[in-house]
Amino acid sequence: MVSSSGNPEFRMIDANGVRLRAAVAGEGPLVVLVHGFPESWAAWRHQIGPIAEAGFKVCAIDCRGYGGSDRPHPVEAYDLETMTADIAGVVAAEGGGAPGVLIGHDWGAHLVWHTALLHPDRIRAVAALSVPFLGVAERALIDAVRPAYGDRGKFFYQEYFQKEGVAEAEAERDLNAFVRRFYFWLSGEAPDGLGNGRPASGGVLDGLPDPDPFPGWMTEEDIAYLVSEFRQSGLRGPLNRYRNQHRDVAFLTPWRGQKIQQPAFFIGGERDLVLSMVPGLDMIAAMRRNVPNLTGAVMLEGCGHWTQQERPQEVTAALVGWLKGLPA
């Protein structure tokens, strides 16, 4: 796989009762990188080397269910309580007794925000890409968006992901096509409205093209590597994260109203569909109300959902600058 990460060391980390594979590079204060769906440690291939060179110990994990990490079968093994404990466990194992910095993308962003909330003694700062923190949820996202999607007979991918085995079968039938079509759908190069208007009875790939060639920010070698990772792990574990929304809301009840207190940073793409997922909600404004120590929110023009892969130089420069400016 073509990578600008130098030569990280791969190791297995014991955390919260599972073993997680991680790419580790550099020395200094710990920075844990947490990927989203459907990704791997390699989503950070452009950032690992530069962050390590800036004087940090970088640990890019495969979340449970992905790649070389353990992949428990039960749906509840992927709930928020468990997966944030995984990340806190990585900090404990690799941080030398000091709190760590977390950076996450997509589901990884959701996980790092909540790890900072639930394990504040372990986390000294947090940065998120694509997914802002809107406050502790009082209802599941699939319920919040149902009036705009399912109740109107429109397809919403997270609702489709709820039934065990269905999305797995569609994706695993042709993993190469799944990666290419899913990634292009959420990229900055996708045409406006791509995938809109699909009936609720359809599949996640219905109406999504397989671009030839794929946008240059993700090479054929990058795609082949990701496909090989999913051949090894399957998609059940990754999809199980979506199936815990009601369990997560119930678990978070004691934290409702609480804010993220650590120094924080956000990077988003102006063409990221995630930021317009809830009609009428200004997610960036909502994040500012719930993250009082947010030091910056960078929006990348023309960028889609895959921020650190679509705009590697800009994202890396922004993250390194933020990291260097953190209080010791």
pLDDT for res 4: 43
Say if residue 328's pLDDT is above 90. Answer: no
User: Which of 3-17, 149-163, 307-321 is least confident?
Assistant: 3-17
Residue 264 vs residues 118, 126, 162, 328: alpha-carbon distances, Å: 15, 5, 31, 15
Query: Average pLDDT of the chain?
Result: 96
**Which of the four pLDDT bands, split at 50, 70 and 90, describes residue 6?**
low
Taking the model in full, what pTM does it have? 0.97
Domains and CATH numbers, the chain: 9-324 (3.40.50.1820)
Give mean pLDDT, residues 166-189: 98
The residue from 105, 110, 119, 305 that is catalytic is 305
The residue from 86, 106, 222, 272 that is catalytic is 106
CB 174 within 8 A of CB 168: no
Give mean pLDDT, residues 5-13: 85
Q: Residue 188: CA atoms inside 13 Å, Cβ hemisphere, count? A: 20
Say if residue 129's pLDDT is above 80. Answer: yes
Say if residue 5's pLDDT is above 80. Answer: no
**Helix locations, 119-174, DSSP H:** 141-144, 157-160, 166-173
pLDDT, one tens digit per residue, over 100-120 is 999 999 999 999 999 999 999
pLDDT, one tens digit per residue, over 41-81 is 999 999 999 999 999 999 999 999 999 999 999 999 999 99
User: Which of 22-26, 114-118, 174-178, 281-285 is least confident?
Assistant: 281-285
CB 211 within 8 A of CB 184: yes
The candidate with the shortest Cα–Cα distance to 63, out of 237, 207, 213, 199, is 237
Residues above pLDDT 90, as percent of the chain: 94
305 is catalytic: yes
Exposed / middle / buried, residue 52 (Cβ in 10 Å: 0-12, 13-18, 19+):
buried
Exposed / middle / buried, residue 73 (Cβ in 10 Å: 0-12, 13-18, 19+):
exposed
35 is catalytic: no
Give mean pLDDT, residues 242-258: 98
- Of 253 and 280, the one with more pLDDT: 253
Exposed / middle / buried, residue 84 (Cβ in 10 Å: 0-12, 13-18, 19+):
buried
